[in-house]
Amino acid sequence: MTTTTTPPSRRLQVKIPWMLWLCKMPHTQAEGVIRNIIREIAQTCSSRGQTLCETLIAFMVKAVVLDPTNHFNVDRTLTKQDVQKLIELCVDRLMDQTSPTLNTIKMQVYFDMNYTSRREFLEVQQRVLQSRLLSLSREITDSRAKTRDDLKNLYGKIVSYVIQRSNLGSATDINTVRETTAALQSVFPQSQLATFMPLLKQDKEQQLSELTLIVSGIRLFNKDSRKGGEGIQNLPAVLNETVPAAAADIENQLAGSQRLAWQYTALLEKICEQDAEHTECPVHPDLLKQALYNARQHEAFLRFILADVIQSAKEVTRIQSDLKTRLTLLKDTVHTKTTVPTSQVFPHFTALASLWAGLEGEMLLLSMLTNVASGLRAFLSAQSLLSSDQLELLLLGLQVRTDADRCSETAVSEERIVESEMSSCEWCFPESTAHFEDVPLQYKGFCGFTLVKKNGLLLPGNPNIGVLKHKEKYYTFSCKSAAYEFTSKADEFVSAVVEMAKRWPELIQLLQLHQEFASVTPYSEMQSGQKLLVKTISKSDASMQTEIHPLETNIVKSYEWNEWELRRKAIKLANLRNKVTRSMQTDLSHMRRHNSTQTFLPKDAGSQTKRDGESNVPKPQVYLSGLRGGTNTMKVDLTRAVDE
């Protein structure tokens, strides 16, 4: 059975509030005093030639305060003398370059500041890319080009945006610019800028993203067809060489750390069996234990990185397989065809670009993991504490057993826990517990009894002899006798392990004792769904419910279970203008509910009439007689009467 490994989170930081008890004063003032302490320690170390980060200094301050040998009383406020003593002790520990403890703590801080989980790393890379292209994107979306030269300049910016976002070549390479421009013109000619300009900013950004995917897919297809693709790196070939090399390098480092841990464990077992004062060891046993912690911590971190590399290798294999399949489909689609509908070919180009972006993400992730693994070597002080010749001389005649050897040696039936002898406790066994390999073991699978009884010796537990479940936590032991004695005083041993961690603060992270030290952020907390190994519970309550619609196609969208909702819909459908609402009340229903009726009030109505009329005055007509030589002139009125 392998112990459960939980990846660390992005930031392991010792936060300021845990030290507020040092200064019994208002929160803001106390926080300022604590920061002054950290700043003074940093300045003192800097004057001595060591530049240290505040996270490391804060962790060391906590370690000094928690160490019972320093006699800091948490029940009273620290005096000026106590503060000065605290600063001096922290500076002495931070300046001790030969201390394996300091190197282990530095290793933990370095790993936390540089290691990033897979999902978070890819999200950060996307945000970095978007921020890098933010100004160019704003110039494109905010452009109000009208003249021909302005439109040509805007089109050139779109080409540059596509190149930089796709990361397929350099925007300063003339061949890359020409190829990208030709691919973009086949999809989005310059004449379509007239329809692009009136769009909303959000729609413009969406169209730019779609154009980037399509153009990138076209260029990748041309590269595969050997008709273009200049400046595009052959990522599949590079990854096929890089991934196995990175995995092999990390496995070699891991094997070296494991070998050191096994050697130091065998040496410490020999010292514990003998009288430490009469041991011919050139190094104090406490330094050997610190070196063992250093090697075990390096081993744990390398396991995290190796798990990510293995996951990356699987992802690269999957993406390359999908990439080949997509290219084959795309070739079949455009083969011997002069014109292909965009609805058929564009999805292939988009998928092709997305898969290539996945390969680029895996390349960046692999680079980060290898850099972190290389950086951890500087903090592996266990290999410099004793030379290989000294170790071989001290281990002469001793059997150096691996963790697997220890489990196999104690896997016989005589070493298994007899559950009837400890009936008051709950035990888990491989044959009776589901998902036994994934049980989250306390102390990272090390034996807590041995750690206490042998004054800090780390021995891997053997889950095959039985796992103790105590207060919803699971404990494993190196042997049967250790399990029985730990079970008889479980709470005392748990408290003793916490006290051991106060003496050696690197054990807080190594054994994941974060619940006992709430001031240190646990690195077992990850984003949802981002654990390398899922912690499953061996026993859990389960329930099952039948789905109403197992298949989406059988869902009736118009179905409504609520009777009152159906009535509301019926009322809406009814044409009340052509209906009469009546109500009736009986003696049984009197005063039991409110009844109401609804009527339509009469509308205000009006009418207006208009009669057109006219009158015509007769045209006056007068006749004068005798005008032609007559002696008498007579006037005759020939005007017609009005009433005619």
pLDDT per position as a tens digit, 419-446? 777 777 888 888 877 888 888 898 888 9
Q: What is the C-alpha separation between 70 and 86, in angstroms, rounded?
A: 9
Beta carbons of 154 and 145 less than 8 angstroms apart? yes
CA distances from 260 to 81, 111, 257 (A): 42, 20, 5
Over 80: is that where the pLDDT of 580 sits?
no
Residues 6 or more apart whose Cβ sits within 8 Å of residue 149: none
Percent of the chain residues past pLDDT 70, beyond the cut: 83
Query: Which pLDDT score is estimated for 76?
Result: 63
Give whichever of 314-328, 560-574, 577-591, 619-633 has the largest mean pLDDT.
314-328
Residue 341 confidence class, pLDDT cut points 50, 70, 90? confident
Over 80: is that where the pLDDT of 521 sits?
no
Over 60: is that where the pLDDT of 233 sits?
yes
Query: Which pLDDT score is estimated for 520?
Result: 45
Query: Which pLDDT score is estimated for 416?
Result: 79
SS3 222: helix
Q: What is the DSSP string of 123-188?
A: HHHHHHHHHHTHHHHHHHHT----SHHHHHHHHHHHHHHHHHHHTSS-TT-HHHHHHHHHHHHHHS
Q: Which DSSP symbol is given to 603?
A: P
Q: What is the C-alpha separation between 546 and 222, in angstroms, rounded?
A: 51
Q: What is the C-alpha separation between 504 and 63, in angstroms, rounded?
A: 8
Q: What is the C-alpha separation between 350 and 211, in angstroms, rounded?
A: 9
Beta carbons of 251 and 227 less than 8 angstroms apart? no
Residues in the chain: 644
Q: What is the C-alpha separation between 442 and 298, in angstroms, rounded?
A: 19
The number of angstroms, rounded, from the C-alpha of 60 to the middle of its chain's C-alpha atoms is 29
Residue 537 confidence class, pLDDT cut points 50, 70, 90? very low
Token digits of residue 250: 């990390």
State the average pLDDT over residues 320-333: 89
Q: What is the DSSP string of 491-551?
A: HHHHHHHHHHHHHSTHHHHHTT-TTT-TTBPPTT--STT--SS----SS--------S-SS
Over 70: is that where the pLDDT of 337 sits?
no
Query: Which pLDDT score is estimated for 390?
Result: 86
Q: What is the C-alpha separation between 394 and 384, in angstroms, rounded?
A: 15
As separate numbers, helices (DSSP H) first and strands (DSSP E) second, the chain gives 21, 5
Over 80: is that where the pLDDT of 330 sits?
yes
Q: Which DSSP symbol is given to 339?
A: -
Query: Which pLDDT score is estimated for 608?
Result: 76
Residues 6 or more apart whose Cβ sits within 8 Å of residue 631: none
Over 60: is that where the pLDDT of 506 sits?
yes
Q: Which DSSP symbol is given to 602?
A: P
Query: Which pLDDT score is estimated for 21?
Result: 44
Closest to 12 in 3D by CA, of 526, 609, 634: 526
Over 90: is that where the pLDDT of 414 sits?
no
Query: Which pLDDT score is estimated for 532?
Result: 30
Over 70: is that where the pLDDT of 277 sits?
no
Residue 92 phi, psi dihedral angles, 5° rounding = -60, -45
If one compares 249 and 537, the residue with the highest pLDDT of the two is: 249
Instruction: Look up tokens 């049967």; give the residue.
Output: 480
Residue 9 confidence class, pLDDT cut points 50, 70, 90? very low
Lowest mean pLDDT among 16-25, 147-156, 480-489: 16-25
Query: Which pLDDT score is estimated for 538?
Result: 44
Query: Which pLDDT score is estimated for 527?
Result: 41
Closest to 48 in 3D by CA, of 87, 85, 91: 91
> Mean pLDDT of all residues in the chain?
81
pLDDT per position as a tens digit, 190-209? 988 888 988 898 999 999 99
If one compares 495 and 606, the residue with the highest pLDDT of the two is: 495
If one compares 183 and 14, the residue with the highest pLDDT of the two is: 183
- Dihedral sign for Cα atoms in the order 506, 507, 510, 516: negative
If one compares 24 and 561, the residue with the highest pLDDT of the two is: 561
Over 60: is that where the pLDDT of 299 sits?
yes
Over 60: is that where the pLDDT of 1 sits?
no
State the average pLDDT over residues 174-180: 91
Over 80: is that where the pLDDT of 530 sits?
no
Closest to 259 in 3D by CA, of 373, 166, 388: 388
Residue type, 337: K
Instruction: Look up tokens 């020999």; give the residue.
Output: 270
Closest to 288 in 3D by CA, of 268, 307, 305: 268
Token digits of residue 34: 């604590």
Q: What is the C-alpha separation between 400 and 264, in angstroms, rounded?
A: 9
If one compares 459 and 585, the residue with the highest pLDDT of the two is: 459
Query: Which pLDDT score is estimated for 528?
Result: 38
Beta carbons of 141 and 539 less than 8 angstroms apart? no
Lowest mean pLDDT among 97-101, 202-206, 575-579: 575-579
Over 70: is that where the pLDDT of 142 sits?
yes
Percent of the chain residues past pLDDT 90, beyond the cut: 26
> Residue 551: beta bridge partners?
none
Over 90: is that where the pLDDT of 242 sits?
yes
Over 50: is that where the pLDDT of 137 sits?
yes
Token digits of residue 10: 């992005």
Query: Which pLDDT score is estimated for 30?
Result: 60
pLDDT per position as a tens digit, 23-53? 445 556 566 777 888 888 888 888 888 888 8
State the average pLDDT over residues 163-169: 89
Mark 441-456 as b/e (b = at least 16 C-beta within 10 Å).
bbbbbbbbbbbbebeb
Closest to 326 in 3D by CA, of 217, 175, 481: 217
Give whichever of 92-101, 348-357, 532-541, 620-629 has the largest mean pLDDT.
348-357
CA angle 93, 95, 99 (to 5 degrees): 60
Beta carbons of 345 and 326 less than 8 angstroms apart? no
Other residues' Cβ atoms within 10 Å of the Cβ of residue 193: 17
Q: Which long-range contacts (CB under 8 A, 24 or more apart) does 430-433 make?
A: 430/1, 430/463, 430/464, 433/467, 433/538, 433/539
State the average pLDDT over residues 459-485: 88
Instruction: Look up tokens 């039936």; give the residue.
Output: 413
Over 50: is that where the pLDDT of 8 sits?
no
Lowest mean pLDDT among 17-26, 193-202, 225-234: 17-26
Over 50: is that where the pLDDT of 356 sits?
yes
State the average pLDDT over residues 614-630: 80
State the average pLDDT over residues 128-148: 89
Token digits of residue 60: 């060391």
Beta carbons of 7 and 117 less than 8 angstroms apart? yes
* Helix, strand, coil percent values for the chain (each to nearest 5): 60, 5, 40
Q: What is the C-alpha separation between 478 and 476, in angstroms, rounded?
A: 7
CA distances from 337 to 219, 341, 345, 567 (A): 19, 10, 12, 58
Lowest mean pLDDT among 98-102, 184-188, 452-456, 518-522: 518-522
Over 90: is that where the pLDDT of 413 sits?
no
Over 60: is that where the pLDDT of 526 sits?
no
Query: Which pLDDT score is estimated for 354?
Result: 93
Instruction: Look up tokens 């059988």; give the residue.
Output: 554
SS3 641: coil
